[in-house]
Structure formats: C-alpha cells, structure tokens
A and B are shown apart, each in its own frame.
Chain A
C-alpha cells in the first residue's frame, strides 16, 4: 500500500467518526452544525493526555472520547429541549465558541528541552505518541478501522435497543413520540453525549495522526461535511455516513481536476439529494430491500 493510500484510508476512518456523530443526532431529529467543536476538544484533550501527561496512545485517544462526551453533557444541559432551528443555531454557536476559545487557550509544560502544549493561535505541536510508540501507519490505519467496525456494530445494536427506538421516534415525529411517553429531553441529552464522544474519539485519533492540532480544526466546514455525509450516504444504516465520507475524500479529492470545484460539486450534490432522495443512497427502504434479498425467508 502506498503512503498516499494509507493516509487516505486513515483520513476516511477518522472522519467517519465525526460523520457518525452527526448521523446519530440526525436520526434523533437534531441537526448539528457543530460536531467539529467536539472533534477539536477531543483532539486537544487527547494530545494533552499523551504529550503533556505521558499517557499511552490508547488511553489518550480514550480521553479524547471522554472529553467529547463531557462537552456533550455541558452542551446538553441548556440545549436538550431545543429542536429544529434553535438547536441548529446553538450548535453553530457552540462550534464557533470552541474555535475562538481555543485561540486563547494556552497550556504548556516543559517536556525535555522544549515547552510543549497548546499555544493559542499557534496551535499545539509535538503530539508524537504515535511515532514514539513505534506503531506504523499501516497498523494505526488498521486499528482505526477495527475500532470503527466495533463502533458501527455498537451503534447498530444501540439503534435497535429501546433507547434507540425512542431516539428514532423523535427523529420521525417528535410530537407523536411524546404522546407515546418518550421523554424527549432525556433521549436528546443522551444522544448529544454519545455524539460528542464519537466526534471526540475521531479528534483523538486525528491529533496523533497529524501530530499537530490548531483552533482552525474546529472549522464549521468539517461540521457541515459531517452532516452531509449521512445525508448523501444514507440514513438507513451507520454504513451510510461512512460511504459518504469515502465518496467525498476517496473520490472527489482524488481527482485533481476537480480540486477547485469540490465545494461546488459537493454542495450541489447535497442540494440535489435533499430534493430527490432526502434519506440518502442507503435509505431505510434500500436497507430493507437489501435485507430481504439476503434472507428472503424472514417475514
């Protein structure tokens, strides 16, 4: 595998986590333009854990996920009851708040001969735990995808559970769900925390791959893309958003001549899909059709 292919596979894997985090919220009927905030917080937390506090790589990444979850809980406190445009506005504000806050955040410790740590607008360099651990890029990539597979399996199980049913009821018809006893605020809060953890996990993985994170990584474009991946790839399965990531990063980016027009194409694709196929490629009907094709005996 060439270096470029490996890095592509890693990037798709990392971004899949953020796409899944936006997807989870979408299923529960909440549109988030702010998952990049949880991503960046997870990246910074994971970097601090390994580069400043000496935690091993896996623990550091785990701390990234925890930071995302904690931020989710903080966000959910005032926002769990918000829906529709108010929720979206809140996520937009949150993402930008994180970005601006990180511009002023400085926390450096002497590690060896240097001062290491977040340095405000200059970012956070020297997150080298991946390289010092001797893990190769190929192994890291494989590890990311194994983790992704486990997360997808977990999500599928979660969405089938009672809690997942309630969340999807909210996404389909929140008022009918309430009339059936679903406590919207609680389910929404749980979804927000879980989504935050997923994005934070992606952030932690990213920080060690890139060795450098900066406030600019809490970019609203990342948030909007993450949301769009589910809309394009399909809402009927967690594999949908992953497909969306693969199509964008794998295909669109790989064609050089498309480079300057990527946003125009991508934005146009989303707009067209929302008109013609609002639940994406792998929508619920497609998934049902595939399931029937695979096991025709089951009713």
Chain B
C-alpha cells in the first residue's frame, strides 16, 4: 500500500508552489519533509489532503487517486493531518474534538494524549502544547493509513517537543505511512530514517536522514552556500 506522488505541479496564479515533485513512501515508514520557508512543504501536504488543486501530476494512495477528490472524500479514504497552527475546534469539548462526529470511543485517545482531565473543557481553553497533542490524537483516532503532520512541534519548548516526539514515535504502525514536516532538524533526525528535502518546489534530496547535512544542494537551499559547516 504505497503513497505515490508523481510529477505534481501546484500553481497559485503565476507562482509555482510545487514544480514537478515526485516522491513515494511505503507502509511503516516515517518520512521527514524538510526545506526552507516557501519551499512547498505545506503545499505538498495540502495537495495530498485535497486542499490544493493539482495543475499536473498524480497522487495515489494504495492505487486510488487522491488528486481530484474533495478533502472529505480523501479523509474517508484514510488520510489524516494536523496543521501548522493547531486547528482545534474552539467551541467543542476536548472529548468531542477527538470524536469529531465519528463512531469511536474517545476515552483511550484522551488518555493517550494525557488529556483525560480536560475531557469536558472547551477546545479554546487549551494551552498550545495541549492543542497539538489533541490534534494528533484526533488524527490518529480515525485509524489513518496516511498521517500528515505539519510542524507538530512548532512553538513548543524543549520539554514539550520531547514529549511530542515520543507521541509521534508511538503513532507509527506497520501499516501506516507518516509524513512529518518539521523545521527542527533534530526532531526529524531522531524520528525519521528517511528525509525528503524540498527547495523552491522541487525535490532536492531524498535519502537517509544522516546524510542530509552533507548534501551540497540542501546546504545551498538553506544557507545559500555549498556546505553546512
């Protein structure tokens, strides 16, 4: 059950946010997605989730095309995501935020995210780190085959980042594909064996996380010079 992204092009007017991206991932993988700001990481996640229209190319999950469907249909095919800024439903309770209208028991996920005592509190009253854990639990509660995480550690201090990393590690299953967009390269290095780097809308690196820092193209994209010292 593979995720196949082939030659995907996404344009916003004259701007080509994604300019022929090809990448594939298999079940059980945790793939890091990195790149400087504006490289197209969130746009790629949006394209996979149906929030950005494809100008060209294909996205397939287990042979089913994702490209031309609406977000709700894609979600029901087993794709879940978290957002760059946490999008918890402010006026739903934490419990409802996990269930999201689905037929599932929220309790185990409340415990998993450490939010048991917040069960009946409103989403808007949570602290940012709690919101992130809630978003992750919410995405996992549906048992997704493809999990898209958009900077889940954004804005978190070291302790919360460490806790979040542990949760993300536990989020993997042998059948699940996890794509992790993250700026904190240390987190990516610890959680992902394989990393894909985007630069100006194209893939500039796709290989082991350890070798990322030595790749000249990556250094060029991030720092404008050929080596990361």
Contact = CB atoms under 8 A, between A and B. Distances in A.
Q: Do A and B share a direct contact in the complex (Cβ within 8 angstroms)?
A: yes
A299 B111 CA distance: 13
Nearest to B125: A285
Interface string B97-126: 001111100000000000011111111110
Contact of A183 (B72, B81, B96): B72
Contacts of A178: 70-72, 75
B154 to A, nearest CB: 16
A175 B101 contact: no
A182 interface: yes
A279 interface: yes
B-side interface size class: 20 to 34
Contacts of B102: 162, 180-181
B101 A184 contact: no
B201 to A, nearest CB: 23
A165 B49 contact: no
B225 interface: no
Interface in A249-281: 279
A236 B90 CA distance: 12
A23 to B, nearest CB: 13
A168 B72 contact: no
Contact of A168 (B92, B103, B125, B138): B92
Interface string A270-299: 000000000100001100100100000011
A210 interface: no
A175 B89 contact: no
Tier of interface size on chain A = 20 to 34
A157 interface: no
A98 B125 CA distance: 43
Nearest to B83: A176
A292 to B, nearest CB: 8
B227 interface: no
Interface in B53-67: none
B75 A179 contact: yes
Nearest to B86: A176
A173 interface: yes
B119 A172 contact: no
A279 B149 CA distance: 31
Interface in A29-62: none
A172 B71 contact: no
A169 B96 CA distance: 9
13 contacts: A162-B103, A168-B89, A172-B92, A175-B71, A178-B75, A179-B49, A180-B75, A181-B76, A182-B100, A279-B91, A285-B125, A299-B119, A299-B120
Given A168-B96, A181-B102, 18 more contacts: A163-B101, A165-B101, A166-B100, A168-B89, A169-B92, A172-B91, A172-B92, A176-B87, A176-B89, A178-B75, A179-B72, A184-B72, A236-B91, A279-B91, A284-B91, A285-B124, A285-B125, A288-B120
Interface of A: 162-163, 165-166, 168-169, 171-173, 175-184, 235-236, 279, 284-285, 288, 291, 298-299
